[in-house]
Amino acid sequence: MASITLNNIVKKYDDGFPAVNNVSLDIADGEFVILVGPSGCGKSTLLRMIVGLEDITSGELQIDGTRMNEAAPKDRNLAMVFQNYALYPHLTVYENIAFPLRLAKRSGGSNGSNGDSTGGANGGAGGGSVDDRVRKAAEMLELTEHLERKPANLSGGQRQRVAMGRAIVRQADAFLFDEPLSNLDAKLRGQMRAEIAQLQRRLGVTSVYVTHDQTEAMTLGDRVAVLKKGELQQVASPRELYEQP
Ligand code: ADP
Ligand code: ADP
């Protein structure tokens, strides 16, 4: 687990217009922060800069107090959960969940440091064998009976759980959710929302969760950050933000 600090973060794409403008936010270790705002306000851009999929134009990103602007995505030990699941169709549920661990192993463990301060680095000896970790995650997510199935044969909710299983086995320092439930129907969305809330409480892992769904914002987060035209308008508890005077 880790804290995430954004100091005056700016992102300008080629057109020079700031997609993210001077955003500063301290996300505490174990905190669940929801990022809301209209389409195009810079939510995805901000997440992508945190995970390292997008360069930061100016400002500083810190993870546990260490500058991370220049760190490669694999050295940030953050797990991203996307709305389109990003599962491998030819792999089973087991193999999909195990994938990040096998990858880390094969690349000789990019986690060169001793990992004391950064927590369990991917694929490290930390949390038992690959098999133990995959099975434990599958149990938490009620996927144990589905381990040998392929994503095509799963429901939307199950696929979403596989995507979360992947994030869990990595023992990432933080989870970054990019509208993970937006492809699901309303009923399933409600169910998955409850599951994510429960899981986050159980794991206590630092999370940043992008959504445009007000119910998710109200029920999931410790704090809600409101972004508008690239700027942070307000950061407040769901209660302060949504429960009226
Ligand atoms: P949101 O996730 O809130 O919908 P985005 O972060 O996707 O917002 O986009 C923020 C702004 O940056 C928008 O004006 C969008 O058009 C622009 N933008 C996003 N990605 C790119 C890109 N790759 N190149 C140029 N402009 C981009
Ligand atoms: P480790 O890297 O932890 O040593 P292995 O790849 O050796 O993991 O697998 C250990 C055990 O995990 C195997 O004996 C098997 O029971 C289980 N296992 C591995 N791959 C799969 C798979 N694709 N489907 C189901 N079980 C698997």
- The two three-digit tokens of residue 156, written as one number: 């939307």
Q: What is the mean pLDDT of the chain?
A: 86
Q: What pTM was computed for the model?
A: 0.79
Q: How far is the CA of 131 from the centre of ligand 2 (A)?
A: 5
> What percent of the chain clears pLDDT 70, i.e. is strictly above it?
89
Residue nearest to atom 19 of ligand 1 (CA): 45
Instruction: Report ipTM for this prediction.
Output: 0.64
Which of left, alpha, beta for 84 (phi over 0: left; psi -120 to 50: alpha)?
alpha
pLDDT of residue 74: 84
Give yes or no for residue 103 CB within 6 A of ligand 2. Answer: no
Q: Decide: 43 in ligand 1 pocket, CB within 6 A.
A: yes
Q: Which of 20-24, 26-30, 184-188 has the lowest mean pLDDT?
A: 184-188
Highest average pLDDT, of 122-126, 160-164, 197-201, comes from 160-164
Answer whether 165's CB lies under 8 Å from 203's CB.
Answer: no
d(CA 200, CA 216): 13
What is the residue with the minimal CA distance to atom 11 of ligand 2? 131
Which numbered atom of ligand 2 lies nearest the CA of 105? 2
pLDDT at 94: 97
Residue 35 makes CB contacts below 8 A (sequence gap 6+) with 43, 46, 47, 208, 209, 210, 211, 224, 225, 227
CA distance 93 to 149: 6
Distances in Å between the alpha carbon of 88 and those of 2, 104, 152, 159? Answer: 28, 17, 10, 11
CB neighbour list of residue 194: distance below 8 Å, 6 or more residues apart:
none
Q: Is the CB of 92 under 6 A from ligand 2?
A: yes
Going by pLDDT thresholds of 50, 70 and 90, the confidence category of residue 133 is very high
Confidence check: pLDDT of 95 > 80: yes
Q: Ligand 2: which of 130, 133, 150 to mutate, judged by most atoms within 8 Å of the beta carbon?
A: 130
Q: Is 209 in the pocket of ligand 2 (CB under 6 A)?
A: no
For the chain, where are the alpha helices, taking DSSP H only? 43-51, 93-106, 130-140, 156-169, 186-203, 214-220, 238-242
Task: Render pLDDT for 35-70 as a digit per residue (tens, 0 to 9).
Answer: 999 999 999 999 999 999 999 999 999 999 999 999
Whether 132 is in the pocket of ligand 2, judged by its Cβ within 6 Å, is no
